[in-house]
Copies of this chain bind each other. A is one copy, B any other.
Amino acid sequence: MANPTAAMLVIGDEILSGRTRDANMYFLAGALTKQGIDLKEVRVVSDDAPAIVAAVRALSAGFDHVFTSGGIGPTHDDITADCIAAAFNDHIDVRDDARALLADHYASTGRELNDARLRMARIPDSATLIDNPVSIAPGFTVQNVHVMAGVPNVFQAMVATVLPTLAGGAPLLSQTLRLQRGEGDIAGPLAELATEFSDLSIGSYPFQQDGAYGANIVIRGQDGARIDAAMIRLRGLFPE
């Protein structure tokens, strides 16, 4: 059976302006691969409501799961929750369960649960909350869209909450052979190997080191024995 598919939507001007280097995509990609959920597409859009709504609708319709990061804090540029509600024609307001979480948290830390912080309790009616052990303000899931914070340690904590609730597939296994040869010298035999092992994915990732060309050949698939067989053939094609 084919693995479940996923897409990610990164929301934030700070990524597109080059101010911040995204870290959540790399983290999520690794976590999904381990669980056997195939990340098929990532989109990054700015803090722009029509762009967010359009991307949520397209990705929700196209993939089994969608993971979003960013835009659920208390400031005016945090518009993700309202955009998710709009994308699904859902009603959104401050919700009692989320408000209770925040009220407890701020009471215990002696800070005020003001109007800005209450924005973080704006949750679409149909959503289920995602636990946030780091800073309490919850993420949420609407249909197949999991809405999480952009701050990396909070994002990672929310991913750790959500992933165990999702059915995974066969984890994607991989083995890598590092070759000190230019891609142009290996491409012919490699293509034949890829045809022979068409049930596996064989990728070639070139590098340059100290002026010499090389490539990492990565063989991926769900059947470890098949990967072993392909690796043996690969080593035979390019003896060191």
Report A's interface with B, CB cutoff 8 A.
Answer: 10, 13-22, 25-33, 38-48, 51, 73-77, 111-112, 114-117, 119-120, 135, 151, 153, 172, 174, 182-188, 190-191, 194-195, 201-208, 213, 215, 218, 220
CB of A47 to closest CB in B, whole Å: 7
Q: A15-B42, A47-B203 are in contact. List 13 more A-B contacts (CB 8 A).
A: A15-B25, A16-B29, A16-B38, A17-B33, A17-B174, A18-B26, A41-B51, A43-B44, A76-B202, A77-B194, A111-B185, A116-B184, A116-B191
CB of A235 to closest CB in B, whole Å: 17
- Complex Cα distance A119/B186, Å? 13
CB of A144 to closest CB in B, whole Å: 18
Closest to A213 in B: B135
CB pair B40 A51 closer than 8 Å: yes
- Complex Cα distance A39/B51, Å? 13
Known: A74-B184, A190-B75, A206-B151. Is A201-B33 also a contact (CB below 8 A)? no
Closest to A43 in B: B43
CB pair B183 A75 closer than 8 Å: yes
- Complex Cα distance A187/B135, Å? 17
CB pair B184 A77 closer than 8 Å: no
Residue of B20, B195, B203 near A13 (CB, 8 A) is: B203
17 contacts between A and B (CB under 8 A): A15-B25, A16-B29, A17-B33, A17-B172, A18-B29, A25-B44, A41-B51, A73-B187, A73-B204, A73-B206, A75-B190, A111-B185, A116-B183, A116-B184, A116-B188, A117-B184, A119-B187
Closest to A32 in B: B18
CB pair A15 B29 closer than 8 Å: yes
Closest to A70 in B: B205
Known: A41-B44, A42-B43, A43-B43. Is A74-B187 also a contact (CB below 8 A)? yes
CB pair A204 B77 closer than 8 Å: yes
- Complex Cα distance A14/B205, Å? 8
Which 10 residue pairs of A and B lie closest in terms of their CB atoms, listed nearest first? A116-B187, A18-B30, A18-B29, A76-B191, A117-B184, A42-B44, A75-B204, A21-B26, A74-B187, A75-B187
